[in-house]
Structure 1
Amino acid sequence: MTPSLNSIVSRLHLKQLRLLIALGDHGSLLQAAKQVALTQPGASKALQEIETTFGTALFNRTNRGLEPNEVGHCVIRYARLIHTDLAHLREEIVGILRGHGGRVAVGVIMGAVPLLTDAISALVERHPEMSVEIVEDTSATLLSQIDAGRLDLAICRTTISQTPQLYESVQLQDETLAVIANIHHPVGRAKKVTLKELAEYRWVVYRANMPMRLLLEREFRDAEIRFPLHLLETTSIFATLTLLQNNPSLVALVSIDVAQFFSRHGMTRSLPLKLASRSEPYELVTRKGAPLSPGARLLMDQLMISRSTTAAG
C-alpha cells in the first residue's frame, strides 16, 4: 500500500532527493554517494529509507549497478522538478531582495508569441537581471500548468476550459489570422487567391478541435469546399516555419502577428486571401486568488502597456 502524502512529506529529506538525482545520473551507488558527500554505507542506508518512505523498491539491483524501475523513473523525475523549483525559489528571492523582480514563468499560445516576446524584450531592457521562462503550448496545457503552479501567467484562452471561473483573465487583443507560404509558393506572387485554389495544396494546421483549426474548417464549410486531406498538424511555430521552408507547396494558417514577423525577415510570404472569420481574442490569464510574484506583476504591467499602445495605434 502506498504511504499517505503526509507520511511522505514528513519522512522525505531534500538530501535524499539529491541522492535520487545522482543515482539517476550515474546508476552507481558509489558515484552517487561521492556526488552528495555521503559514504557508500550512508548512501545505501539513505536509499533504504527512501524506498521505505515510498513503500516500494525504486531500483533493480544488477551487476551493472542500480537501474531505476518504472516507479524509480517517476520518483527521479519529480525529484528533479523539486530541485529545479527550489533553484527558481532561490533565484526569485535574490531578485526580490535586489529589487529587480526576480523570475517569472509565462505560457503562450503560438499566435501570441510575437506579442509576448516584444513585451519581454522591453521588460528585460529595464530589468536586465530578471529571468524569464517561456513555455509555448496549447491553451489547455497552459491552463493545466497554471493550475499546478508551474506558470505564473499565460497568454491563452479560458474559453476552452470547463472551469473558466477558476481564472482571472483580461482580453489583450483580437487575433486576426493570415495564410502564409514559402516565398516561392506557386501562388505567392498572385494579387488575389481564393480558398478553392488553396484547397488543392497541403495545409499545416493546428490539431482538431482547437480554435484556429475550427475556424479554418468553418471557412471551408461556409464556402462549400471540402476540407483538405493529408494535413500536417502542429502547435509549434518552429515546426510550421521549417515545414514551409522545406516544401514550397505547403500553406499554413497563423496569426497576423506571426505572419508579419516571418514576412519582415523574408522567411515566408502572406498570401492575398482575406478570411471572413476572426479567432477569439488573446487573454492574459492568472489563477484566481493566487498571489503574484513581483516578476509576474512587472510582466503583466508591460503586457498591458503593449495592449494600450496597440489599441492607440
Structure 2
Amino acid sequence: MLPPLTYIVSRLRIRQLRLLIALDELGTLHRAAERIAISQPGATKALHEIETTFGTPLFTRSAQGLQANDLGRCVIRYARLIHSDLAHLHEEMQSILQGHGGHLAIGTVAGSVPLVLRALTSLRQMQPDISVQIVEDISPRLLKLLDEGRLDLAIARTSGSQHPDDYECLSLHAERLVLVAAPQHPQQDNPALSLADLSGYSWVVYPTGTPMRTVLEREFGEAGLEFPRYPLETSSTFTMLSLLQEDPQLVAVMPYSIACSSEDFGLLRRLPLELQARNEPCAIVHRRGSSLSPLASLLLEHLRNEQQALAED
C-alpha cells in the first residue's frame, strides 16, 4: 500500500529527485552519482531511501544497469516536473532581480508557427525584456515535453494522447492543407491537375500516424489511388522546404499558413489542386491543475486575440 502523502512529502529530498532523473537518463548508479556529484555509496543509499519512502521498488536491476518500472516511470515524470518548476522559479527570480520580464517556453506544431510568432511579437512589444524558447515538433513529442514541465504552453492535438483529460485545451480552427512543390515543378500551372497526375511523383510526407499524413492517405484512398511508395518522411518544416528546393520533382502537403509565407519568399508554389479534407483542429494546451505563470497567462491571451483576428479575416 502506498504511504500517506504527508509521509512522502516529509521524507523526499530534491537531491533524490535529481538522482531519479539521472538514473533514467544514464542507467547506472555510478554514472548517475557522477552526474549529481555524490559518491556511489551515497547514490545507493539515496535510491534505497526513495524506494523506502514510496514503499515499493522503482527500478529493475540487471547486468546492464537499472531500468525504471511502471511506478518508477511515473515517479520520474513527476520528478522532472518538480525539477522543471524549480528551474523556472530560479529563472524568473533571476530575471526579476535583473530587471527583466521572465522566461517562456512554448511548443507548436508546424501549422501554428505563424500564430505563435504573431502572438509573441505582440507580447514582446508590451514586454521586450523576456526570453522565449520556441519548440516546433509533432503533437506526441510536444505533449511529452509539456508533461515533463519543459513547456509552459503547447499548440498541439491531444486526440492521440492516452490521457487527453490531463490537459486544459482551448480549441483552434481546423487547419487547411495544401499541396506544394518547387517553383519549377512540371505540374505547377496545370489547371486540370488531379491527384492521379501527381501519384507518379516522389513525395515528402509527415511521419505515419500524424494527422497530416492521415489526411493525405485518406485523399489517395478516396481517389482510388495507391499511396506513393518510398516517400521521404520528415516532421521538420525546414527539412521539407530544403528537400523541395533540392528536387523540383518532389511534391508535399503542408499547412496553408506555412505554404503562403514560403510562397511569398519564392521557396515553393501551391499547386492548383484543392484537398477535400481538412486537418484535425489544434488546441492551445497546458497541464490541467498546473497554474500558469503570469507571463504564460499573458501569452495565452495574446494567442486568443490573434486567433480571433484570423477568424474574422
How do 1:246-265 residues align onto structure 2 when only pairs under 5 Å count? 246-265=246-265
Give the share of equivalent positions with the same residue, in percent: 43
Whether the aligned pair in 2 keeps the contact of 1:95 and 1:101 (CA below 8 Å) is yes
Whether the aligned pair in 2 keeps the contact of 1:188 and 1:271 (CA below 8 Å) is yes
TM-score (norm 1): 0.74
Deviation at 1:191, TM superposition (A): 3.0
Identify the residue that residue 123 of structure 1 maps to in structure 2.
Answer: 123
Identify the residue that residue 185 of structure 2 maps to in structure 1.
Answer: 185
The 1:70–1:237 alpha-carbon spacing in structure 2 relative to 1, beyond 3 Å, is farther
Q: Does 1:150 align with 2:150?
A: yes
Whether the aligned pair in 1 keeps the contact of 2:104 and 2:152 (CA below 8 Å) is yes
Amino acid at match of 1:272: P
Whether the aligned pair in 1 keeps the contact of 2:84 and 2:150 (CA below 8 Å) is no
Deviation at 1:10, TM superposition (A): 10
Identify the residue that residue 301 of structure 1 maps to in structure 2.
Answer: 301
The 1:218–1:51 alpha-carbon spacing in structure 2 relative to 1, beyond 3 Å, is closer
Whether the aligned pair in 2 keeps the contact of 1:107 and 1:151 (CA below 8 Å) is yes
The 1:259–1:192 alpha-carbon spacing in structure 2 relative to 1, beyond 3 Å, is farther
Cα deviation code 1:58-84 (max 9, x no counterpart): xxxxxxxxxxx999xxxxxxxxx9999
CA RMSD, Structure 1 to Structure 2 (Å): 4.1
* Unmatched runs of 5 consecutive residues or more in structure 2: 1-8, 27-33, 51-64, 68-80
Whether the aligned pair in 2 keeps the contact of 1:179 and 1:254 (CA below 8 Å) is yes
Whether the aligned pair in 2 keeps the contact of 1:96 and 1:294 (CA below 8 Å) is no
TM-score (norm 2): 0.74
The 1:98–1:308 alpha-carbon spacing in structure 2 relative to 1, beyond 3 Å, is farther
The 1:44–1:103 alpha-carbon spacing in structure 2 relative to 1, beyond 3 Å, is same
Identify the residue that residue 6 of structure 2 maps to in structure 1.
Answer: none
Could you tell me how far apart the structure 2 residues matched to 1:192 and 1:101 are?
54
Could you tell me how far apart the structure 1 residues matched to 2:110 and 2:104 are?
19
Deviation at 1:271, TM superposition (A): 0.7
The 1:166–1:13 alpha-carbon spacing in structure 2 relative to 1, beyond 3 Å, is closer
Whether the aligned pair in 2 keeps the contact of 1:101 and 1:294 (CA below 8 Å) is no
Could you tell me how far apart the structure 2 residues matched to 1:211 and 1:148 are?
23
* Greater shift in the superposed pair: 81-90 or 133-142: 81-90
Identify the residue that residue 237 of structure 1 maps to in structure 2.
Answer: 237
Aligned length: 292
Whether the aligned pair in 1 keeps the contact of 2:155 and 2:282 (CA below 8 Å) is yes
Identify the residue that residue 110 of structure 2 maps to in structure 1.
Answer: 110
Q: Does 1:211 align with 2:211?
A: yes
